[in-house]
């Protein structure tokens, strides 16, 4: 049985030459941002407008969320056991599962599957159809509600404002908003779109497949997890007892104003 050759269209490597989607890596370095590079890798083409800027804002947004998360707990526990940095961070990234950032993927999938319905029948009736069918199937609509940030997640608000400012397409964001309104009407209580849902809507408007959803969380959060690993290494003893996040004393800088350079 002849074996089918494996193919790739991502990159080609030769001595002294690294082509990424056809572009020489050396030309990309210094000219494209990491956000542009992610877009090039995922979409296969360089951004035409502000896609890279939007991705950078998402990565900044995802980079850190304190001790109150399972993944921060994992990375600190792993470092306490004496493992190399990349392995500790990887062990925490594993934990970014369906309930911990997974709603980016879940919400993006839902939006991408119903966007043509919305274009056909209007956003309001598409939203009603989505909410009704999920409730009948007893399936959870992902990307709505947040345990800590109430009534509204400030990151969601900021992300949507930036998307507008960057003149990105907005159909998926619009559908996400229509579902938010419908949920409020149906439930009698607000269950606002959260940061995961917002990222899911935006990457859909960037034209990216929902299967990339979790990446926008772990590529950013990797930076925060690394910082926690480092802080533990430098400050704590091996095999330290585990503490809950409400026992944690924040000893960093007081709130200070960001000044644009």
Residue 98, both tokens: 């369906």
Q: Within positions 81 to 120, which residues make up the interface with a copy of itself, using CB under 8 A?
A: 81-102, 105
Provide the minimum distance between the beta carbon of 219 and a copy of itself in the complex, in angstroms, as a whole number.
Answer: 5
Q: Which of 2, 30, 138, 189 binds a copy of itself (CB under 8 A)?
A: 30
Q: What is the distance in angstroms between the CA of the first residue and the CA of the last residue of the chain?
A: 63
| 187 binds a copy of itself per the rule CB under 8 A | no
User: Per rule CB under 8 A, is residue 29 in the interface with a copy of itself?
Assistant: yes
- At how many degrees (to 10) do helices 51-62 and 34-43 cross? 110
Q: How far is the CB of 136 from a copy of itself (least distance, A)?
A: 17
Q: How far is the CB of 236 from a copy of itself (least distance, A)?
A: 8
* Interaction between residue 28 and a copy of itself (CB under 8 A): yes
Residues in the chain: 261
CA-nearest of 160, 165, 161, 164 to 200 is 160
136 touches a copy of itself by CB under 8 A: no
Among 116, 150, 185, 187, binds a copy of itself (CB under 8 A): 150
Round to whole Å and give the CA distance between 200 and 159. Answer: 11
| 188 φψ region: left (φ > 0), alpha (ψ -120 to 50), beta (else) | left
What is the closest distance, in whole angstroms, from the C-beta atom of residue 65 to a copy of itself in the complex? 6
């Amino acid at each position: 049985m002849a074996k089918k050759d494996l193919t790739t269209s991502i990159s080609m490597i030769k001595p002294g030459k690294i082509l990424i989607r056809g572009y020489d890596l050396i030309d990309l370095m210094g000219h494209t941002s990491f956000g542009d590079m992610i877009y090039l890798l995922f979409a296969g083409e360089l951004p035409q407008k502000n896609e890279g800027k939007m991705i950078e804002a998402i990565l900044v947004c995802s980079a850190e969320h304190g001790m109150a998360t399972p993944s921060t707990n994992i990375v600190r526990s792993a470092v306490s056991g004496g493992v190399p940095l990349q392995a500790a961070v990887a062990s925490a990234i594993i934990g970014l599962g369906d309930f911990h950032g997974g709603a980016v993927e879940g919400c993006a999938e839902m939006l991408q599957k119903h966007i043509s319905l919305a274009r056909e029948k209007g956003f309001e009736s598409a939203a009603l159809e989505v909410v009704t069918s999920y409730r009948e199937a007893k399936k959870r609509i992902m990307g709505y509600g947040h345990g800590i940030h109430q009534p509204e997640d400030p990151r969601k608000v900021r992300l949507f404002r930036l998307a507008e400012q960057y003149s990105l397409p907005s159909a998926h964001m619009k559908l996400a908003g229509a579902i938010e309104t419908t949920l409020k009407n149906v439930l009698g209580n607000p269950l606002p779109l959260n940061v995961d849902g917002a990222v899911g809507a935006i990457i859909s408007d960037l034209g990216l497949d929902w299967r990339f959803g979790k990446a926008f969380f772990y590529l950013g959060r990797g930076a925060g997890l690394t910082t926690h690993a480092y802080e533990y290494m430098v400050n704590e003893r091996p095999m330290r007892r585990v503490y809950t996040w409400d026992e944690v004393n924040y000893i960093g800088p007081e709130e200070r104003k960001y000044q644009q350079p």
